[in-house]
Structure 1
Amino acid sequence: MGFLSKLFGGSKTPTKEEVEPIEYNGFLICPEPIAEGGQYRIAGQITKELDGEMKSHRFIRSDVLSSKSDACELMVKKSKMFIDQSSGKIF
C-alpha cells in the first residue's frame, strides 16, 4: 500500500516554510499565511519572552489576498497595530 500512496502522491506532506521573524517593540512577529483556493489568508504568530517563558498569540484573520507576499506584509502591519493598540499587553 505504501508504494501506491507514493505513486499517487498520498505520502506528500506539506512542508512549512521557515520565515524570519520580525522584531517589533520586544515582540517577534512571524507571518504564516494560509493557502486557500488560490489565495492566502492572513495568519501568523506574535511571540515574546516573559519571565523566562515564551508566550505566543496566534491569529487568523478573515482577510484573503491573491499574493503570499502581500498577505505576509499585511499580517506584519496588522500585528504592529495590535501591539500598539494593546500597549504591548497582549499576554
Structure 2
Amino acid sequence: MSFFKKLFGGGSASAEPAGEKTLGEETYKGYLIKAIEMKVGSEYQLAGLIEKGFDGELKTYRYIRADRMSSVDDLVSLALGKGRQIIDEQGDGIFR
C-alpha cells in the first residue's frame, strides 16, 4: 500500500495489524467503528478504523488525524465521532 493511502486511510481488505490496540468501538449504520491506540510521546493521536462486510469480505478503512490529546476517554470519543462523520459524508465510497 502506498505511503499516501496509509497516511490518509486508503480502503483495504485487511484487518487490524497485529498488536494494534482497540480502545473503544461502536456500530453505526451497519459499520463497525474502532478507536485505535496511536501514541506519540506521552499523547494519543486521533486514529481509527471503519469496517464493513461486503459479500463475505471484510473491508477496512483507516483514518489518522493530526489531533492529539492526553486523555484516552477524549481520544475514544473523538475517534468514534470522526468515524461517524466520515460514514455520513462518504458512506460506502470510503472503500473504493
Quote the residue 1:38 is aligned against: 42
Cα RMSD, aligned residues only? 1.7
- Structure (1 or 2) with the larger CA radius of gyration: 1
In the alignment, structure 1 residue 80 sits paired with structure 2 residue 84:
yes
Equivalent in the alignment of 1:90 = 94
Q: Tell me, what secondary structure is at the counterpart of 1:41?
A: strand
TM-score (norm 1): 0.75
Map of 2:9 onto structure 1: none
CA offset at residue 19 of structure 1? 4.4
In the alignment, which residue of structure 2 is the partner of 1:48? 52
Structure 2 stretches lacking a partner, 5+ long: 1-18
Which one scores higher on RCO, CA 8 angstroms, separation ≥ 6?
Answer: 2
**Greater per-residue helix proportion:** 2
Moved beyond 2 Å, runs of 4+:
15-21
Give the alignment's TM-score, normalised by structure 2.
0.71
Residue 72 of structure 2 aligns with which residue? 68
